[in-house]
Amino acid sequence: MFWRLFTTDIKMLFRNKQSLFWAFMFPVLFTIIFGFFFGENTSVGSVALVNDSSTQLAQNLDKSISDSTLFRVDKNIAENDIKNEIKKSKISAGIVIPEGFGNLSPDSPKSVKVIVDPGNAQANSVITGYVQSYLTQASFQIQGAKPVFNVDEEKTSDRTLSYFDFVLAGILGLALMNSSVIGISVSMSRYREDKILKRITTTPLKTWKFIVAEILSRLIINVLQIGVVLSIGYFFFDAHIYGSIFVLLPVAMVGAILFQLLGFVVASLSKTTDAAQGMATAITIPMMFLAGVFFPIDTLPKWLYSVVQYLPLAPLLRIIRNVALEAGSPFDNPINALIVGGWIVVALTFSILKFRLSDE
């Protein structure tokens, strides 16, 4: 009885284009888009390099820039064209090493020109910073001096992590949230509207079996979702995943159950399928931004952060990132696990009290 229901539920999920879209297409699209922007090499784009000097210093700088993985170098753009090319977004910046640069004679040029677009802050700071620090080093060498003061950089993790890794973990949470909240609320409301739920209650099938089969079949989809998103990030965009999939999956399943329960809450509150769809979207879209799928939420104003850090998705993302990117344990910060657990209790209690298969 149960097995048949469970396999039939899975069959239906795969035949339902809408559920497949939210489960697979939506997160995969996000992964690919962010992968192209931020994955693989963390390049800030192309840089035009014009080197008019043949001195040793100029040659060394030229080589260093050309070898850098931070940007691609294009040497076929004339100095006069650089500003135009930047305006046309063909390149992010231009570097011009003037003739005679590197000669120590007093009348030879002493600076390298960096042409940037003020609108592209990320490229500006990377390129200007790169050239600046190279020249500072060179100046010290020529003077035979050693820097007196230094920055001692200490990372919270000795692992290489990029913005793409941060977003990829966010997309995992997003995928679980969207497919579960929208999937459950819409399908339950539609079943109720079509009286399928009522029809089910005329049979000897126990309500809890019906719901458990529904939840389990969706968890199967969630496992596939995570596999697909992680594989695309890992194999196509060189994502850095340090945690074990065997810790990550159970964490994701707990998250999925939480969101499915929220789906039941939405289904209990909405009378029609359209209402459920609207309410589910109204919950998931703001949460997508406010819980930190794409941006770290601690950059929000303090009062806002103090609220949104408790949204169901927020602690889950903190746990997912800690597990996936830092190879940590889900309980490293027990507060996160507690918030997730708290939401599960609230949503479960509400669903048990309010969700009905039929009118009474």
Q: Does 208 bind other proteins (CB under 8 A)?
A: no
Closest C-alpha among 288, 282, 264, 284 to residue 186: 264
Contact map string, positions 151 to 190, toward other proteins, x by CB under 8 A: ----------------------------------------
Size of the site for other proteins (CB under 8 A): 21
Rounded to whole angstroms, how far apart are CA atoms 40 and 32? 11
For other proteins, the binding residue among 153, 158, 298, 360 (CB under 8 A) is: 360
For other proteins, the binding residue among 43, 201, 281, 333 (CB under 8 A) is: 201
Smallest distance from the beta carbon of 25 to other proteins, in angstroms?
A: 17
Smallest distance from the beta carbon of 196 to other proteins, in angstroms?
A: 6
Q: Does 196 bind other proteins (CB under 8 A)?
A: yes
Nearer CB in complex with other proteins: 93/221: 221
Whether the CA torsion 47, 51, 52, 58 is positive or negative: it is positive
Work out the number of other CB atoms within 10 angstroms of the CB of residue 192. 23
Residues of this chain, 315-334, that bind other proteins according to CB under 8 A: none
For other proteins, the binding residue among 15, 88, 155, 302 (CB under 8 A) is: 15
Q: Does 202 bind other proteins (CB under 8 A)?
A: yes
Strand 113-116 and strand 46-51: pairing?
unpaired
Q: Does 72 bind other proteins (CB under 8 A)?
A: no
Nearer CB in complex with other proteins: 83/354: 354
Rounded to whole angstroms, how far apart are CA atoms 341 and 346? 9
Q: Does 8 bind other proteins (CB under 8 A)?
A: yes
Rounded to whole angstroms, how far apart are CA atoms 243 and 259? 23
* Residues contacting residue 262 through CB under 8 Å, at least 6 positions apart: 180, 181, 283, 312, 343, 347
- Collapse the DSSP code of 46 into the 3-class scheme (helix H, G, I; strand E, B; otherwise coil) and give the result: strand
- Collapse the DSSP code of 153 into the 3-class scheme (helix H, G, I; strand E, B; otherwise coil) and give the result: coil
Q: Is 180 exposed, middle or buried (0-12, 13-18, 19+ CB in 10 A)?
A: buried
The span of 78-86, 135-143, 203-211, 323-331 binding other proteins (CB under 8 A) equals 203-211
The span of 11-19, 151-159, 286-294, 326-334 binding other proteins (CB under 8 A) equals 11-19
**Residue with token string 């159950």:** 257
Q: Does 199 bind other proteins (CB under 8 A)?
A: yes
Q: Is 306 exposed, middle or buried (0-12, 13-18, 19+ CB in 10 A)?
A: exposed
Smallest distance from the beta carbon of 343 to other proteins, in angstroms?
A: 30
* Residues contacting residue 125 through CB under 8 Å, at least 6 positions apart: none
For other proteins, the binding residue among 205, 247, 253, 300 (CB under 8 A) is: 205
Q: Does 96 bind other proteins (CB under 8 A)?
A: no
Contact set with other proteins (CB under 8 A)? 1, 4-5, 8, 11-12, 15-16, 194-196, 198-199, 201-205, 358-360
